[in-house]
Structure formats: structure tokens, C-alpha cells
Amino acid sequence: MIPSQKFIGESPNYEYLNAVIRARGTRLLGREVFSRLASGSLEDMELFLLESRYGPRYREQLATGGGSLLGRIENALAWGAADILRETASLARGESLLFFSVILSLGDLHNGRILLRASPGGIRPKNSPAWHRYSLADLAFYDDLWKKSATPADGAVRCHEENHDFARILGESYRVLHETGDLFRAERALYSGWFGWWSERLRGRNNENSRRIEEYLGRLTDLWNFSIWLRPRKEAVSRDQAFLPGGWGFSQEALESLDDPDKLFAGSGWSFVPGKRGERTRSDLFRSFQRHFYEWQKSLYRQNLLGTDVSLGYAAQVVQEWKNLSLLAVGLSLKMPAADLERHLFLQEEGTV
Amino acid sequence: MEKALIALAAALAVGIPAVATAYAQAKIGSAGAGTVAEKPETGGTIIILEAIPETMVILGFVVAIMLILQFA
Amino acid sequence: MIRKMIRLALWGVTGKRREIIEELHRLGVLHLEQGSGPSAGESARLNTLRLLRGKTLGLLESLGWDEWTSLSEESINDTEKLLSSLPADELAPEIGKSLEEFGKRLSSLLDERTASEELLLRAKKARDILDRFSAFFRREDGGPQGKTTLWLISENTVQQALAALHGAFSSRGEAWDGRHHFVPGKDFMGVLGLRVSPELEGEASEILSRWKALPWSLPEFCSGVRVEDALAILGKKSETLSERLETISGDLRRASGEWGPRLAALFLFIDARTEQAAVEARLDPSADTFTLHGWIPEDALEATVSALKGRFGDDVLLQWRHPGEKEWSTVPTSLNNRPLCAPFELFLKLLRPPSYSGIDPTTAVALFFPFFSGCMIGDMGYGALILLLSLKLKKAVRPMLRDIGSILLSVSLWSIVWGAAWGEFFGDAGHRLFHLEPLWVERSVSVLPVVVFTVALGAAHVFFGLLLGIYQGVRNSHRHLWMEKAGNLAVLLALVAGLVVLKAEMPRGVFTVPFSLLVIGLALLIAGGGIGGIIETLGSIGNIISYVRIAAIGLSSAILALVASKFLDVFGLSVFGIFLALMIHLLNFVLAIGGSALHSARLHYVEFFGKFYSGNGKEYTPFQRRSGSSWKKHS
């Protein structure tokens, strides 16, 4: 059930959509639920899922899935989250649908990255990876690429057969990978193609909501740029070429010239303070920044109640809930201690609402 | 001429609140439909919220009737 | 009326707990109240059952079966009889095993369907590309038999690649014409078809790779097939796949028809067992006896007690009592009205139920709703039509439609009464044809009396609401509530009295009555609700004026009906004129039903209920088996 894009021409229905979303938002799982699950077992989680929003998908797994308990749970979670997002998107009309599609399309971006990363060696498990199933492109397309297109060249040719904008972007990235053998450049091609495609689709709109979406895309660009910026200086040549234009807070100049994260963030507009959580490594710092970005998205849920903010905030929470639950399932199957598990989840800070 | 003006005044007394009520009810109604679809138990509250702007047009109607009965 | 409830306590022998719980579930009248969570030992059985229930429902959903309403009680009972004979411990594994078998068969069918669909899609894409080369494949070029390959290449480089290929062909003395064909596609990419002799093959692909062309290959199931011959094979493959898909859907449909009802009955059985196990899991299995508490309607007590005593004799001990005043907030609410009023309970379905000690407004709604609606419609002709409609609806199968039929019946009667008062029968058609005269006033002409009447009606309705509020406050010893309502009522009465004194030009001395009322009212208001109370009173004045809508909607309905007759005046008794008049009447009829019902309901929900109704009751949900159609509420 991919939300039909044919309704994009209609007038937006933020009031209706946001009312539905805010009502559904009460079913998002709170911190205490995660704590309870973390201190239980995988079997407890199974019973919990049966009664939750993921119930219908878990029942489907029970009936036809076979496989291991963990496999069933992971599948049900991925499908469940996708159902929630797609079902919500199918209620949107006009501009609200277009902007919601940006969120769904992030699934395409993630899936494309998974495919590119699995490509060069050509060795991959038979079972499909954990796709972001809420993507705009059909899941069969990704499955087919995974199963039948072992090399980047195969992938590029397969993408050409598809009649979807994202397939064109992915095909382009596959070609880059085929021609250069450089995964990093292929990924950059994917990102820049994706951002370019969306800025093309959003062109000509100028209102509060479109500005918010632009800000969202800009902040996403910042996230990518920051991950490049964190790379060691000796990769400087490829690094400077890798920054994407159109960031929200970091200027191209700052990215290229500054070395100190404090300085980078100081004039950027991001309220993120590097090192505040005691991050030591680059990956810690990046994770902290990702978390900050997530907190920002979540805060939108309570901002403009008659605009696209609510969708952005809600979708971020749904995706995060899925990731948290998946992580929890894996942790429980490894019998990790509850406290360790909880530390790895992105949860509501204690004491905040 | 005077009658025409009174009629116009009465029409405006109903018309303007009607437009305003329609605008407000459209927004509230569409949000209300969304909420009730998810949480039927909020039905009562939604009806009350939906009914609030309607008072404007009722008052407008009373004013219009008064205008016509008093002056026409 | 709110049904009287009894607190029932049941002590039973632990050995018989499963049977007792089963019997309670079958009787389906006890609203259970249980505290603590499941104990470890018993919850294992509960969890197995919950998983089994999920699995059965999952199978039904995967089958796409959804005909719960057609499920017969007989098949449910048969399943129950059949499975009840199995020993309790063997039940879950036995059912689990057979479900496993069925699930495997189902999933292999579903997997095959997905795989076939994917292959079909793949074949279609390949055919789309090959179709564009069919002429090229057929072309005779006179050269030696060669191998055809297809390449994805950029439109910008294709010419250079072709030139390089041309060079290679000529240097080997091979014919060039007719051996290549380029089809441009989207995004400046295109597909190049090339036929080369085996000797040139290596060189050609090297040249093409240099120009960044990517080889296109046939789908896996065509491996070893020449590209030229692939179209026919793909066509055949697509046909077989489509046929296979049809067979699979046929199989699935058959399986759904055959297995759906059985699985559904099984689901309901497991569901009932799960619900019972959930109750059982909360009991302490180590003690000799167990206790269950709950609420039961007074009218069902006797039957329940004799059923339990009859089956279990001295193994159960029952005790019951009326709820104390302090317990009122925990007692569930169940409504029970006379058949004439019961359909109007529909209006309360949108709200949370009234509290046990509260007031069930159904009777008041049954009285006022049709009265208001009828006043708005106020046309004997329309009333008669609604009467016919309601009689038809009362024969409907769905209970809700029957309720709507009963409501419409009272609306139609009041419409006829009010139609006589306003002298309307399809607008002024009654007057024109039968010289019908209004019993009271013609509402399209004398507006003011109707407006005044509706405001008076509103005042009466709101006062009644306030009186109910006072009664409720006093009954629940809620001092602030009754004081505020009484103050509100006193101030409103003072205003009415003041108006009467002014209009009737009574001596000044009489003013002391409204004045003292006002003072008393304000004092009560401030004591009961503070500043909020005063604002509430202002709101009440707005509420009373709100009843003007009865006049307003009636007026517009009457005028629209007049317009219909006017069409006949203008166009004469022509087909066109009659058609237009009928259309206007139809529009007016629909508006009359919709508008009057909506506004009448609104007057109840907002203006009337606002004065006394507090929907903070607990719904009465007896411990009982779900019927076929109601399971969905749960999932």
C-alpha cells in the first residue's frame, strides 16, 4: 500500500491529518514501556507486540512466517512501522502529502545506501536486509536488486528498467560505483541526487510549511556534511569535494576551513554543544549529533499544530520507536543486561515531556 | 432606498457571521473528524467545539430579524 | 433509566475454578473487578493461549477471510463441543499442531504467489526493452551469423562508441550496416543493440566498456537463450505465470471459503478460553478457595445465582449487597429504558456513559428531540413521507437502523402536528388545493411570534437542564454543583421576571421580586462556582438564544417549500415546472431531515446536556463470550 501520489494536486488537509496524527500519537510507546521490556525476555516482548500496534503484522508472522522468534519480531516491527507511516500518509492530501512523501522517501535513501554498501563484493545473505519498508518505491524493486543484481553494473541496468525517479538516482549512483569503484563517491552521488530531486519537486513553493521542509532537508544535509567533516584531515582532497551544498547551518566555507567542532557549531544555528555528553570518539560525537537532530524533529510534534511540523515530529518518533524496539529485540536475544540495553536506545530524557 | 439599505444591513448581519462560522467550522470539523475517527470517545467534546462558532450566525439572525421588524 | 447494580462476591473451591469461570463466562452478566497481576505458574498457559489466538487470527487475516457476520451460532457451538471434549492440557498443543500444518501450506502458496508476481514483472520489463528491438532482430544484414548483445549507454557517448565500433568492424572487413540499433530512453540513457561475429565479440565489448556502456542481460529464467529468441520465450513464460497465478488465487479462494469459517469458530473458542485463562491466572492456585468480585444488574441476579447454585451446589458461596454511596464512582453504568425510549439511547453512544449516580437523559431526549425536529420540519406532507420512511426502516435487519426508524417515527408524528399548526402541506400546496389554514400562525409571514416561542422553549429546556443539575448535585451531596446550578437558574429567572414586569408595565414595586432573585442567584453563583459561575450564566443566556435556530431553520424550510410552488406559478403546470417544483421539494426534504436532526441533536448535546450531564461513568462490560461480529473491536 504505497500512498497514491495522485492527490498531490488537491488542497492540503493539515487540520484533519494533524488531528489524526495527534490522536495516534498517544499510542507511541513511552520510556517506561521500554524499561519494562528491557528487563523482560524476548518471549515477553512477543506477547507485548501481539497486543500493540504491531499486532496485525506479528499475527501475520505467526501464521505464515516460521523462522526464529527474533526474525519474526524484527519482520513484524519493520512492517508495522511502515504500515503506520504509509497509512498516515495515505490520509494526507495536496501539499501535506507532498511533504509527507519527503519523509517516506528517506526510506528510499536508506535502502539505496544499504544496496550500494552491499554491492561491490557481491556476497550477501540470501534473505533481504532490514529494509526501510515505508519507502516510496516498491519493496519488490529493492528485493529484486538485492537478489538478482550482484554487481553495480547489474544494478544500474536494472534501475534503468524502473519507471521511478528514485530508481534513476540509484542507477546513477550504481554507475558511479561501477566506474570508479569508490563507495564513498557513489554514496555522495546518491545523496546529492536525492537532495537535488527533492529541491526540484519543492521549487516554487514559499510558505511556512515549505520553509520548514527546506529547513528539514538543510539540516539533513548538515548531518551528512558533518559526517564528512569528522573524517580525518588526510582525506582532505576528497573530503572538501564531498560536502553537499544547501546545508542549513554549516556554510561550505566553515566546513572547509574550521577544525574545531565548537567553532563549527558556534555560529551555525544548531543548539548542539559538542562534548556536552562527554563524547570521546568521532562516532560518539556523530551519534550525539544524530540524537540532537532527532530531538529537534521530535520537538516539532508540538509546534505548528496546523502545519507540516506535526507530521515531521510524528514520523521521526515512529521510525525511532521501530529502531528502538528492533535494538531491544536483538539485545534481549543476546541476553544483554537491562541497563546496558537502555543506554543504547534513543529515549525521552528523564524529566522532560 | 431606505428599505434597500435596511435589507442590505440585515443581509450583512446574517451573511458576514455565516462566512466566519463556515470558516471556523470547516477547520474545527476537519480536525474533529480526524480525532473522532481515532478516538470515538471524544465525540461529545468535538460536538461542543464544533457548535461554538455557530452562535455567531444565530446572533446574526436575531439581529437581522430585529432590524427588519424595527425599521422596515 | 440507569440499571440498579448489585455487588456480587463469589467464593469457590480452587479445584473447580476453571468450570466456575467458564460458567460465569457463559452466563455473561458479571462485570468483573480483579486486582493483582498474573501469577507465574498460571500465566504460562495463558501465554500459550494468547499466542495461539494470535496465530489463528493471523491465519484468517492472511486468508483474507472477513465474513464474521455470516458465521452461524451452530458452527461456533459445534466447534466448542468438539474441542471441549479434549483434555485441557492437550488442547493447546493439539490445536497448535494442526495450525502449523495449515500455516505451512498457506505460506508456501503465498510465497509462490509473490515469487510468480515478481517473475511476471521481471518478464514484462524485459519484454518492454526487447519489443523495441524486434525489427532489428528480424533484419537481414547478409553478414555472418553473429551474437546479439544489448547495452545500456549514455546518449552523449553512443556516437563515439559507434564510431569506434565501426572502425573495428571495418578493420576486420565485416559489414557494419544493419548490425547495430540504438533506442534512446529516459534521462539521456538508451539501449544499444549490437550483432557481432564471434571473432569480434571480445573487442566489441572492450570498446563498449571503455565508453561506459553496461551490458543488459535477460532474466535468470532465460539463461542460455539467444536474445533474438527471448521475446517468444518470455511471452510464453508470462502466459504460464499468469495461469499459475490464477490457479493460486483460485486455491486461496477455495481455502478461504473452506477453512475461513472453521478457523473463525476456532478463533472464537480460543478467544473465550484466553479470556477465561486471564481471569484464572490472577487467582492464587495454592489456596483452597478463590474469590471473585464484580457487579451484576439487579434484574439478572436471581437467574445467575440459581444457575451457579444449581450447577456447583456447595462448591460456591455467593454473597451480594447494594453499593454504598462511597462506591458509586466505581459502579459500572448500564442503561435500561422502556421500549418507546430505548432507541434514543443512540444519542448517548457518542458520549461516555453517565456515572452510576448520575442521570440517564434518554427519556428527556425521547421527549424533546422529536418535538424540536418536528417543529423545524413543520410540514404535514414531509411528515407523512418521513412516516413511510420510518416504517420501512423499522423492518431493517441491523438494530441501529431499526432504532433510527423508531426515532424517525416520533419525528414524523410531531412534524404532522406542527404542520397542522403552521398550516403547511408541501409548503402552500395544502392551502392552494384544500384551503388548509394554520391552526396557529403562518410561520413564513409572522416571524416574531415563532421566534419568541422558540426562545421560551429554549428557556424551558435550559431551566429543566439546570433543575436536573441541581437534583444531581443534591443527590451526590456535591454542594458546589447544586449551588452553582441553582444560582444560575435564579439569575435567569430574575431576568425573565424582569422582562415580564417591564413588558406588562406592572407597578415598580413588583421589581423587588426579580431583584431579590438576582441577589440570591448571584450569591449562590459566587459561592458555588466563583467568577466561572457568572461566566457560565452569560453562556446560559447565549444557550437560550441559541434555540432561535428552531425558528430560523423552520423559516428557511417553509420559504424553500414556497419557492417550489412559485416555480409552478411561473412555468405553469408544464412538465418542466412540475419537475423543478419536485426537485426543490426533494432538496428541502433532505435538508429538513438532515438539518432538523442535526440541530435538534446539537441543542441537546450542547445546550441541554451541558447543564447536568457528566460523562464520567464506567461502561458496563460483562465477562462474556464475544460474538462473531464484535471481535474486531478488540483487535
**Domain segments of chain B as ranges:** 2-71
Would you call B31 and A24 a contact, using CB atoms and an 8 Å cutoff? no
**pLDDT tens digit sequence for C54-104:** 999 999 999 989 888 888 888 888 888 888 887 777 788 888 888 888 888
Question: Of C542, C552, C615, which has the smallest distance from its Cβ to B61's Cβ?
Answer: C552
| A67: nearest CA partner in chain C | C104
Look at chain A and count its residues: 353
Q: State residue A123's pLDDT score.
A: 62
* Mean pLDDT in residue range C340-352: 92
DSSP assignment letter at C335 = B
- β-strand pairing of C316-321 with C332-333: unpaired
Q: What is the mean pLDDT of chain C?
A: 89
Share of chain B above pLDDT 90, in %: 58
Q: State residue A59's pLDDT score.
A: 94
* Mean pLDDT in residue range C8-36: 90
Q: State residue A242's pLDDT score.
A: 83
On whether residue A349 sits in a domain, the answer given is no
**pLDDT tens digit sequence for A196-222:** 999 999 998 999 999 999 999 999 999
Chains touching C (3+ CB pairs < 8 Å): A, B
Alpha helical stretches, state H, C218-226:
none
Q: State residue C36's pLDDT score.
A: 59
- Residue A236: pLDDT above 60? no
- Residue A180: pLDDT above 80? yes
- Residue A94: pLDDT above 70? yes
Q: State residue C167's pLDDT score.
A: 87
Share of chain B above pLDDT 70, in %: 99
Q: Is C302 exposed, middle or buried (0-12, 13-18, 19+ CB in 10 A)?
A: exposed
For residue A66, which residues of chain C lie inside 8 Å, CB to CB? 103-104, 107
Note whether A189 and A155 are within 8 A (CB).
Answer: no
Q: Please name the residues in contact with C432: beta carbons below 8 A apart, sequence gap of 6 or more.
A: C565
Task: Report ipTM for this prediction.
Answer: 0.88
* Mean pLDDT in residue range C23-52: 82
**Interface residue A175 vs chain C (CB under 8 A):** yes
Question: Of A47, A63, A168, which has the smallest distance from its Cβ to C62's Cβ?
Answer: A63
Q: Who wins on pLDDT, C218 or A3? A: C218
Q: Which domain holds residue A125?
A: 5-344
The Cα angle at residue C180 between residues C176 and C186, in degrees rounded to 5: 150
**A142, amino acid identity:** Y
Q: Give domain B2-71's CATH number out of 1.20.20.10, 1.20.810.10, 1.10.150.20, 1.10.579.10.
A: 1.20.20.10
On whether residue A352 sits in a domain, the answer given is no
Give A84→chain B minimum CA distance, Å. Answer: 13
Give B39→chain A minimum CA distance, Å. Answer: 7
CA A310 – CA A103 distance, rounded (Å): 12
Share of chain C above pLDDT 70, in %: 96
- Residue A66: pLDDT above 60? yes
On whether residue A353 sits in a domain, the answer given is no
Q: Report all structural domains of chain C as residue ranges with CATH numbers, in order of start.
A: 5-100+251-333 (no CATH), 125-238 (3.30.70.2750), 337-440+547-612 (no CATH), 447-546 (no CATH)
Buried b (16+ CB within 10 A) or exposed e, A273-290: ebeeeebeeeeebbebbe
Q: Identify the sign of the CA torsion A49, A50, A54, A58.
A: positive
pLDDT-derived band at A232, boundaries 50, 70, 90: confident
Look at chain C and count its residues: 635
Note whether C16 and C312 are within 8 A (CB).
Answer: yes
Instruction: State the best of B28, B36, B39 to mutate against chain A, taking most chain A CBs within 10 Å.
Output: B39
**pLDDT tens digit sequence for A267-292:** 888 989 888 877 778 888 999 999 99
Buried b (16+ CB within 10 A) or exposed e, A117-137: ebbeeeebeeeeebbbbbbbb
pLDDT-derived band at A352, boundaries 50, 70, 90: very low
Note whether A213 and A99 are within 8 A (CB).
Answer: yes
Q: State residue A353's pLDDT score.
A: 38
Would you call C606 and B51 a contact, using CB atoms and an 8 Å cutoff? yes
For residue C448, which residues of chain B lie inside 8 Å, CB to CB? 65, 69
On whether residue A351 sits in a domain, the answer given is no
Cell of C267: 478463533
Helix (H, G, I), strand (E, B) or coil at C33: strand
**pLDDT tens digit sequence for A160-172:** 888 889 999 999 9
Q: How far is CA C53 from CA C26, C264, C541, in A?
A: 19, 10, 56
- Residue A131: pLDDT above 70? yes
Note whether A86 and A98 are within 8 A (CB).
Answer: no
Cell of C97: 499442531
Would you call B41 and C352 a contact, using CB atoms and an 8 Å cutoff? yes
On whether residue A100 sits in a domain, the answer given is yes
**pLDDT tens digit sequence for C230-275:** 888 999 999 999 999 999 999 999 999 988 998 999 999 999 999 9
Task: Return left, alpha or beta for A41; rule: phi > 0 is left, psi -120 to 50 is alpha, else beta.
Answer: beta
On whether residue A350 sits in a domain, the answer given is no
Q: Please name the residues in contact with C490: beta carbons below 8 A apart, sequence gap of 6 or more.
A: C517, C518, C520, C521, C524
Instruction: State the best of C107, C189, C270 to mutate against chain A, taking most chain A CBs within 10 Å.
Output: C189
- What is the end-to-end Cα distance of chain B in Å, rounded? 11
Cell of C148: 546479439
**pLDDT tens digit sequence for C179-216:** 888 998 877 889 999 888 887 888 888 899 888 899 98
pTM attached to this predicted model: 0.87
Measured CB to CB, residues of chain A less than 8 Å from chain B are 13, 15-20, 22-24, 91, 306
E strand or H helix at C159 = helix C155-171
Least confident of A330-334, C139-143, C537-541, C559-563: C139-143
Would you call C542 and B55 a contact, using CB atoms and an 8 Å cutoff? yes
Give C627→chain A minimum CA distance, Å. Answer: 20
Q: State residue A37's pLDDT score.
A: 94
Note whether C417 and C374 are within 8 A (CB).
Answer: yes
Q: State residue C634's pLDDT score.
A: 42
CA C186 – CA C188 distance, rounded (Å): 6
Q: Could you give the number of structural domains in chain A?
A: 1
Q: Who wins on pLDDT, C629 or C127? A: C127
* Mean pLDDT in residue range C327-354: 92
